[in-house]
Structure 1
Amino acid sequence: MLFRLDNLTRQFGTTKAVDSVTLEIPAGQMVGVIGRSGAGKSTLLRMINRLVDPTSGSILFGDLEISNLHGTALRNWQRDCAMIFQQFNLVPRLDVLTNVLLGRLNHRSTALSILNVFTREERLMAIAALERLGIEQTALQAAGTLSGGQQQRVAIARALMQSPKMILADEPIASLDPLNAKIVMDALRDINEREGITVMTNLH
């Protein structure tokens, strides 16, 4: 589905963090947003995921106007639009497999989510995601014991568990060494090419 921003703006007081951004991304593209720190790249991605509300303008995914969503419809969009953060946002004390399974929470009932009851199929799906990213051997380790590159791959596996239609990656390689940066970017490119998922990533 075509993804479109139309005059998207976010203002904090008198400061315009994002100023009238208009663009179109055809379905299944991988796009980089490149700019210096403080240029508003993270705010742009957070508006697309609706972690931050736009001051004005619109966000459209196909016929769905993201900027107007509330309640269940907004939660469904945040499930369909997976976010990968620079700081990984894993739960360090939980094992890797559980961290990946947390990507299924928006697909399940509240009761099952509270109880952390995951099905055998979901566990197999999580292991397959870890295998795809070459870190299945870490499944039972606490996430906090992994290297930065491994943790970012766990975050990508968690995003895959959401079965997303779009992936947003907010400076996913900023804190990684060149080898791990290449592994992470290659993984995002592979997901884009094999699944046809639209990927939008911030880089500087």
Structure 2
Amino acid sequence: MLKLTNVSRRFGDKLACTEISLEIPAGQMVGIIGRSGAGKSTLLRMINRLIDVSSGGISFAGTEVSSLRGGALRAWQRDCAMIFQQFNLVPRLDVITNVMLGRLNRRNTVLSLLQIFSEEEQLMALAALEKLDIASTASQWAQTLSGGQQQRVAIARALMQEPRMILADEPIASLDPRNAKVVMDSLRAINDEQGITVITNLHT
């Protein structure tokens, strides 16, 4: 279970999130809906520990996430994958390499930076792309894909982390209705079939 207790985040004099408390059982898919500037992205970044809470606590399966440091923090960020609105792919790398970069937290960093991946990792990446119905794009540069395809590549990269939770920060904000449905259906299928907890921000 993910549990937030009176979580707040302040940027200077501005409160982005104020005393948020919630509990999300493992294996759930939850949408956080709100207007722009309401603090949705800040909330997900605090859960992933891209930024720290100003006050309050975050725990997952009994572990106090908000106090993790060093290797324990890296392990949490591996288990808690982020998907961003702007995809965060490397434009001039092919799709399959972008997906395999999801293994960064599970392998030797030097090997990852040199783009040296095992046959097993290549097969894992192809399987993730196949699950998202974009395996045919594996050899294309990421920048040649449509927005909807790029977001599915980002989801495949998240799956390569073998996460316990996926945080999707407005994953359909820049997509047309058809591609938005494809992306949301993909996240729902991952939740249904693999039991991964999915939390997604959606703009009103």
TM tier relative to shorter chain:
over 0.9
Find the counterpart in structure 1 of residue 130 from structure 2. Answer: 131
User: Can you list the C-alpha shifts for 1:149-176, whole angstroms capped at 9, x where unaligned?
Assistant: 0000000000000000000000000000
Find the counterpart in structure 2 of residue 153 from structure 1. Answer: 152
Find the counterpart in structure 2 of residue 118 from structure 1. Answer: 117
Give matches, 1:1-204, under 5 Å: 2-204=1-203
Q: Name the CA distance, whole Å, in 1 between partners of 2:77 and 2:61.
A: 15
Q: Name the CA distance, whole Å, in 2 between partners of 1:198 and 1:91.
A: 26
Q: Kindly state the Cα deviation for residue 114 of structure 1 after the two structures are TM-superposed.
A: 3.2
The 10-residue stretch of structure 1 (127-136 or 105-114) with the greater mean CA deviation from structure 2:
105-114
Q: Name the CA distance, whole Å, in 1 between partners of 2:88 and 2:109.
A: 21
Identity of aligned pairs, percent? 71
Q: Name the CA distance, whole Å, in 1 between partners of 2:112 and 2:200.
A: 29
How many residue pairs get aligned? The number is 203
2:84 partner amino acid: F
User: Can you list the C-alpha shifts for 1:94-130, whole angstroms capped at 9, x where unaligned?
Assistant: 0000000000111002332233211101000100100
1:54 partner amino acid: V
Q: Kindly state the Cα deviation for residue 13 of structure 1 after the two structures are TM-superposed.
A: 1.2
Report runs of 4+ in structure 1 exceeding 4 Å deviation.
none
1:38 partner amino acid: G
Q: Name the CA distance, whole Å, in 2 between partners of 1:18 and 1:173.
A: 22
Q: Name the CA distance, whole Å, in 1 between partners of 2:31 and 2:165.
A: 14
Q: Name the CA distance, whole Å, in 2 between partners of 1:30 and 1:126.
A: 24
Which runs of 5 or more structure 1 residues have no equivalent in the other structure? none
Question: Normalized against structure 1, the TM-score is what?
Answer: 0.98
SS in 2 for 1:8: strand
Q: Name the CA distance, whole Å, in 2 between partners of 1:92 and 1:131.
A: 21
SS in 2 for 1:103: helix
Cα root mean square deviation, aligned = 0.7
1:3 partner amino acid: L
SS in 1 for 2:51: coil
Question: Normalized against structure 2, the TM-score is what?
Answer: 0.98
SS in 2 for 1:129: helix
